[in-house]
């Protein structure tokens, strides 16, 4: 596995562990913020595992699963973008409240729309009605919700659509360049949605070496996403930031990949003669 990826993975884990013991607030946002970081780390651990091949002992089959690597990579990018959108991008606490309450409400509305028949499931839904009412009460007093268009309110309340920005818009707000925010993100979506290009790449590459070369670009995007997640997590949690700043040797690599994520491809010098195309 790529050495820099593993180092960044280790840095992310260290700041998550350093943040242990931070008290939860009146709602679950501290828990959810930490859970998003843990989720991203676990996805990255799966990337490391998949990169070393998937082996099915029962049928003696070993594969390099390029498709799943790209699907999980998309999840990592979106995971960072959710954290950034909820906890870093808001201009003030009221806007953070609006985004977080909308996010929490969306999951409850989504579950409310599930066809649940079990007695246990019905008890959970009944209990969650009180939480929904509380979140709605908090939102109705929030100026960002009040200023929301009627259509966007309807989409939130009926379908749980909590984002007022698209993924590409959030990525641009987070400082990622247009290539990563648009083209590369759509490329990864193609793998998640079984797009034609993903099928072509799968059947056009037979050898593992070819698949690894195809994944190199995604691997760079992962290093950008993890580095940005480290910075965003430290921005939100002072305890994690203190730990990060005490380890100066870690900061150079993180800054490198944050900067790479901000540079447009046309501004990056590449020696094409050294690449095996």
Per-residue pLDDT tens digits for 146-188: 999 999 999 999 888 999 898 989 999 998 888 777 788 888 8
* Domains of the chain: total: 2
Q: Are residues 135 and 250 in the same domain?
A: no
Can you give the pLDDT at residue 273?
45
On whether residue 8 sits in a domain, the answer given is: yes
Cα dihedral angle (201, 207, 210, 215), rounded to 10 degrees?
Answer: 70
pLDDT value of position 268: 52
**Domain extent at residue 128:** 92-165
Q: What is the pTM of this model?
A: 0.88
Judge whether 108 lies within some domain.
yes
Q: Pick from 117, 144, 165: which residue ends a domain? A: 165
Q: Are 170 and 84 in contact (CB under 8 A)?
A: yes
Residue 271 within any structural domain of the chain: no
Chosen domain end from 165, 194, 220: 165
User: Looking at residue 109, what is its pLDDT?
Assistant: 85
- The answer on 191 and 82 residing in a single domain is yes
Token code pair at residue 206: 């037979």
pLDDT value for 271: 45
Residue 237 lies in a domain: yes
Distance CA 249, CA 1 (A): 21
Interhelix angle 3-18/238-245, nearest 10 degrees: 130
Q: What is the pLDDT of residue 197?
A: 75
| Residue 272 belongs to a domain | no
pLDDT score at 93: 96
- Nearest by Cα to 166 from 40, 81, 224: 81
Those residues of the chain that have pLDDT short of 70 are: 114-117, 122, 206, 265-277
Count of residues in the chain = 277
Residue 269 lies in a domain: no
Q: Are residues 226 and 211 in the same domain?
A: yes
pLDDT score of 117: 67
Which pair of structure tokens corresponds to residue 163?
Answer: 């984002």
96 and 158 in a common domain: yes
């Amino acid at each position: 596995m790529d050495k820099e990826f593993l180092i960044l993975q280790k840095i992310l884990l260290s700041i998550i562990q350093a943040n242990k013991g931070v008290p939860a607030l009146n709602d679950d946002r501290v828990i959810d913020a930490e859970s998003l970081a843990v989720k991203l780390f676990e996805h990255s651990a799966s990337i490391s595992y998949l990169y070393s091949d998937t082996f099915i002992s029962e049928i003696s089959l070993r594969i390099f699963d390029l498709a799943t690597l790209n699907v999980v990579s998309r999840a990592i990018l979106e995971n960072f973008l959710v954290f950034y959108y909820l906890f870093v991008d808001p201009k003030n606490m009221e806007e953070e409240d609006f985004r977080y309450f909308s996010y929490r409400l969306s999951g409850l509305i989504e579950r409310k729309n599930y066809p649940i028949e079990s007695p246990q499931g019905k008890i959970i839904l009944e209990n969650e009605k009180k939480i929904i009412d509380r979140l709605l009460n908090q939102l109705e007093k929030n100026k960002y919700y009040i200023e929301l268009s009627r259509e966007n309110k309807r989409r939130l309340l009926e379908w749980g659509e909590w984002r007022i920005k698209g993924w590409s818009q959030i990525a641009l707000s987070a400082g990622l360049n247009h290539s990563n925010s648009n083209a590369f993100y759509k490329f990864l979506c193609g793998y998640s949605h079984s797009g034609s290009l993903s099928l072509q790449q799968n059947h056009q590459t037979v050898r593992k070496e070819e698949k690894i070369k195809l994944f190199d670009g995604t691997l760079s995007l992962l290093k950008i996403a993890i580095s940005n997640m480290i910075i965003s997590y430290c921005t939100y949690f002072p305890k994690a930031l203190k730990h990060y700043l005490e380890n100066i040797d870690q900061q150079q690599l993180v800054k490198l990949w944050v900067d790479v994520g901000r540079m447009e491809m046309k501004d990056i010098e590449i020696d094409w003669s050294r690449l095996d195309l």
